[in-house]
C-alpha cells in the first residue's frame, strides 16, 4: 500500500480473517517497517488475543466482517484521488466507532467499496489480495475520472 501510494506513514489500516480470529494492522506503525509480529490478532468482539494495540478503526473492521460473511478482508486507505474524486458511494460516520462500519456497509449497498467522507476509501474482498486489488483499482478509476 505504501509503495503504491495508497497510504503514507501510519495512515490507513488492513484486516483479514484468520480462522476464528481477525488479524489487523497495529496503531501507529508505518507499513514499510511492519513485521509479522507487529500484526494484532483480535477475537470477533475485538479483544486482543496477541500483538500490539490494534488500529483505531478496529470497530469499523469488526462491523464489516461481522455483517458480511462473504468478506474476508478489509483495506482502508487514504489514497489521494479516490478520497477527492470517488466513483463510489460516500459514507458518513465518525472514525473509530462501530457506527462507521454500519455507514460504510450501507453506502456500499452490497458492493465492495465506499469512501468515508473527508477520510478515505474502504474496500472489501474475499481475501486480502482481492481487497487490496480493489483499493488500487479504485485509485486508478478516480485518477481517470479526474481527467475527464
Residues annotated as part of the active site: 57
Write the CB contacts of 89 (distance below 8 Å, at least 6 apart in sequence). Answer: 107, 108, 109, 111, 114, 115
The rounded distance, in Å, linking the Cα atoms of 9 and 22 is 23
3-state secondary structure of 91: strand
Q: Which residues of 68-78 are buried (b: 16+ CB within 10 A; e: fewer)?
A: eeebbbbbbbb
Q: What is the dihedral of CA 68, 110, 114, 29, to 10 degrees?
A: 20
The rounded distance, in Å, linking the Cα atoms of 22 and 26 is 12
Amino acid at each position: 500500500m505504501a509503495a503504491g501510494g495508497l497510504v503514507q506513514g501510519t495512515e490507513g489500516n488492513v484486516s483479514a480473517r484468520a480462522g476464528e480470529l481477525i488479524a489487523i494492522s497495529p496503531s501507529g506503525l508505518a507499513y514499510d517497517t511492519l513485521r509479522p509480529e507487529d500484526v494484532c490478532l483480535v477475537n470477533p468482539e475485538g479483544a486482543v488475543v496477541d500483538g500490539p494495540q490494534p488500529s483505531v478503526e478496529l470497530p469499523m473492521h469488526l462491523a464489516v466482517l461481522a455483517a458480511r460473511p462473504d468478506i474476508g478482508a478489509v483495506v482502508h486507505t487514504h489514497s489521494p484521488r479516490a478520497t477527492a474524486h470517488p466513483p463510489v458511494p460516500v459514507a458518513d460516520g465518525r472514525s473509530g466507532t462501530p457506527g462507521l462500519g454500519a455507514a460504510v456497509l450501507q453506502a456500499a449497498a452490497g458492493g465492495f467499496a465506499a469512501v468515508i467522507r473527508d477520510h478515505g476509501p474502504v474496500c472489501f474482498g474475499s481475501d486480502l489480495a482481492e481487497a487490496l486489488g480493489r483499493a488500487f483499482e479504485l485509485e486508478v478509476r478516480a485518477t481517470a475520472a479526474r481527467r475527464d
